[in-house]
Amino acid sequence: MIFVKQYGYYRTGTNFLWQMLEKNFLCSILVNQLGCKHDAPKDWKKWLDKPDKPIPEGLPKAVQDNTVRLIVIVKDPYAWLHSFIFYWRMRKPDRIDKVTLPFLIQRTQFYNRNYRAWRDLIANHQGILIRYEDILLDYETEFQKVSDVLKLPLRGNRITIIEERVDSHPHLQKKPFDPEYYVKKKYLQHLKTDHLDLITNTIDWALFREWKYEPIG
Q: pLDDT of 44-95, one tens digit each?
A: 999 999 998 999 999 999 999 999 999 999 999 999 999 999 887 766 666 6
pTM of the model: 0.92
pLDDT at 86: 85
In a domain, 216, yes or no: no
Structurally, the chain folds into a number of domains equal to 1
Structural domain includes residue 217:
no
pLDDT(202) > 60: yes
Nearest alpha carbon to residue 109 among 207, 189, 193: 207
Task: Identify whether 147 is part of a domain.
Answer: yes
- Which CATH number belongs to the domain containing residue 46 in this structure? 3.40.50
Neighbours of 197 (CB within 10 A): 14
Is 188 among the domain residues? yes
Asked if the structure places residue 201 within a domain, the reply is yes
Q: How far, in Å, CA of 122 to CA of 129, rounded?
A: 8
**Pick from 11-15, 100-104, 122-126, 168-172: least confident:** 168-172
Distances (CA, A) of 118 to 96, 122, 166: 29, 6, 26
Question: Do the domain assignments include residue 102?
Answer: yes
Nearest Cα neighbor of 143 from 3, 23, 8, 7 is 23
Whether 207 is covered by a domain: the verdict is yes
Provide the CA 63 distance to its chain's centre, in angstroms.
Answer: 22
Quick check: is 197 in a domain? yes
pLDDT tens digits for 136-194? 999 999 999 999 999 999 998 889 887 655 445 454 455 677 889 999 999 999 999 99
Query: Which domain, by its residues, includes 71?
Result: 3-211
